[in-house]
Structure 1
């Protein structure tokens, strides 16, 4: 697959941390766990930092779905439930995504989500890029790039995927579901901010007592998030849960929340491990999340929302 050439100076400029409000779309496998619900709510509650223009339902396949298509459809329905509790209309805002993973590295899966992303990216510019925050399998985003590779000039992808670059493997749920799509992120030259799971986002841990104190009772959305958290385990004694997906939104909300360095884009091997090639282009890779600052910001925004 031949991708448009993006010179390194332009890519590095695009990878600078934004200081003001940015235009953003969110690609999410919302029903897969409980963390996507928190991330979507956080994005909507942060309009001074991110202007959310669309939400895309991503595929997933685990014990909560019968396959990628069923996972995407359940995610779509979960997105609607969240928007309803936040009093947000969904028409022209939420789009169903891929019903399967990429069959090959150069074969997209067409969907309303991929088409909308292409349209929004083409309507953007190098000076006003569209930030594509992805917190699930990257199928929709890769498909959009394959449908129209020119969009890499106008977007910045922020993706929660894979593990720390020093980890012995990168068999992480989001990445491993669609290895073909994942390789598009690393090989296409699209400006990419990668947030690894183990070793970075894995620090975003919370507990039921904290959720009951700072989330439950904070309006319809607070009660919904608290219900989802409580239902994630039958025994919360000594139990904590990682709310992974907050990290990707936090990356745009405040640069101090997620530290990140420039690294050469890793090679994703057939063994689903990282390999280093210092001749490759740069991406930005998160190295640390500030857990207390991120949760504190979310809790404050929920409180303000509940009192409005």
Structure 2
């Protein structure tokens, strides 16, 4: 164990450091894909004492909510505008379009407004004062920025909701399988990375219809917007609970105790979408638990205070 720590001492030091508030960050999100993205964006914007959100990037996605990656990105871009409108916040110079496709291979970036803006902000940062890049979708935009300007690897810390817990039999998680070359690049390039696995970790952050109706509904225009999205997610709410996956990435930066983590070797993502372990690889920080109640209390309290202000 001593040899890897010696080889990657600087990387480990950066991962051990608790960032001083407010944390400078950008948020990369496939906002229209699900409903937890909207909650994550609001949670970040309602936490200015902890987070300084400098930009929002629309990430590509492709499922039943879009006709393809580009359409998913455009729908996410528009959803961010709608969300900011409900909060009375300007979107010009704050919301950027992301990639119109996934990475074609491990060497070719997909140029976009988001990737270019990330490069610009990262190059204006430093190893001592890195930019935190919070990604809660396919990590195409971030991987593209790294391919466009590899020097940013030493100037950013990536917090990514992606993949599943290591004990999970298959790594077929939505954010990861959409752009496998991008996911591999993030695991392989040596960037300071905090991974929040989905099934087995983030899956512990859930909420119910009754909780939403009590603590979100009626909390101003943005609370009603979130409630509208919650109701629209599915028709049958009987005995239903919703996992709020994406909020975990925000919660980690608000209070690292909300999302306990430990150092592990960066995984190798195989062609069979499984994880291969290699003790010679660099370290990343990986979440293993979610303090569900503390996170939801913090979010509900902030939303209520915002609505009452």
Q: What's the TM-score once normalised by structure 2's chain length?
A: 0.97
What is the CA distance between 1:268 and its match in structure 2?
A: 0.4
* Equivalences for residues 33-182 of structure 1 within 5 A: 33-182=34-183
List 4+ stretches of structure 1 deviating above 2 A.
Answer: 16-20
In 1, the alpha carbon distance for the partners of 2:148 and 2:39 equals 30
Equivalent position SS for 1:289: coil
What is the CA distance between 1:292 and its match in structure 2?
A: 0.4
Equivalent position SS for 2:260: strand
Any unmatched runs of 5+ in structure 1? Answer: 1-5
What is the CA distance between 1:65 and its match in structure 2?
A: 0.3
What is the CA distance between 1:12 and its match in structure 2?
A: 1.2
Aligned residue pairs, count: 303
**CA RMSD of the aligned region, Å?**
1.0
Residue 14 of structure 1 is matched in structure 2 by 14
Equivalent position SS for 1:224: helix
What is the CA distance between 1:7 and its match in structure 2?
A: 6.0
Equivalent position SS for 1:18: coil
Residue 247 of structure 1 is matched in structure 2 by 248
Residue 280 of structure 1 is matched in structure 2 by 281
Residue 3 of structure 2 is matched in structure 1 by none
What is the CA distance between 1:18 and its match in structure 2?
A: 2.2
Equivalent position SS for 1:231: helix
What is the CA distance between 1:167 and its match in structure 2?
A: 1.0
Q: What's the TM-score once normalised by structure 1's chain length?
A: 0.97
Any unmatched runs of 5+ in structure 2? Answer: 1-5
What is the CA distance between 1:21 and its match in structure 2?
A: 1.7
What is the CA distance between 1:210 and its match in structure 2?
A: 0.4
In 2, the alpha carbon distance for the partners of 1:63 and 1:173 equals 13
In 2, the alpha carbon distance for the partners of 1:216 and 1:142 equals 37
Equivalent position SS for 2:236: coil
